[in-house]
Amino acid sequence: MCDGCEKKLENSFEDKTVDLGMLDPILDEFKGQTGSVISILQKTQDVYGFLPLDALKYIADKTGNKRAKIYGIATFYAQFRLDPVGKYVILQCQGTACHVNGSKEVSYAICDELNINPGGTTEDNMFTVEDVACLGCCSLAPVIMINGEAYGKLTPDSARKIIKDIYNKEKEGAVS
C-alpha cells in the first residue's frame, strides 16, 4: 500500500468513539474462520448502524487482517454504511413501476419535508433517506419502506403525512 493511502482511506469513515467491547461476541463467533470478514462487518453494522473507523481498526487487529483490506471491503460493498444513519431509514423505490407512478414527486416531497437530499440524514438524526433500485413491491407503486415497513400507493401529500405522523409520535414519546 502506498504511503498515506491507509490514512486517505481512513478519512472516508466517520471518526466516532464507540464501545469496542460490543464487537467481542461477534469476533468470538467467527474466531478462526477464514473468509468471514463480510459477515463480521455485517454484524458490526447491525450493532452500530454503520461501520465506525475504530471498529474497523479493532476488527483488523483482532482478525489479523491488514487495515487496508478491511477498509477496502467496507468501501467496496454498497451494503455497508460509513456514516451514522437516522433512527428511521426511508428507502425510496426508484424502480420502473414506481417511476411511472410518480416516485420522483414522492421523493421530492419527502426530501422537501425533511430538508435533505437522498443519501442524507436529518440534523436531528431522526431520518435517513436513500434511493433504491427496487423494493420488490411493484403492485404498491410508488412505494417507500421505513425500517422494513412498506408504505404504498403514495402521493406527495400522503408521504408528507407519514413523515409528520412519525415526528408527532416521537414527540409524544410513543415510539421507542
Domains delineated in the chain: 5-76 (1.10.10), 88-174 (3.40.30.10)
pLDDT score of 3 more than 90: no
138 assigned binding-site residue:
yes
Percentage above 70 pLDDT, the chain: 94
pLDDT score of 176 more than 60: no
Q: Which residues of 43-69 are buried (b: 16+ CB within 10 A; e: fewer)?
A: bbbebbbbbbbbbbbbbbebbeeebee
pLDDT score of 171 more than 90: no
134 assigned binding-site residue:
yes
> If 0-12 CB within 10 Å is exposed, 13-18 middle and 19+ buried, where does residue 70 land?
buried
CB 130 within 8 A of CB 140: no
pLDDT in tens, 109-155: 999 999 999 999 999 999 999 999 999 999 999 999 999 999 999 99
How far is the C-alpha of 84 from the C-alpha of 69, rounded, in Å?
22
- Its pTM stands at 0.71
Q: Average model confidence (pLDDT) for the chain?
A: 91
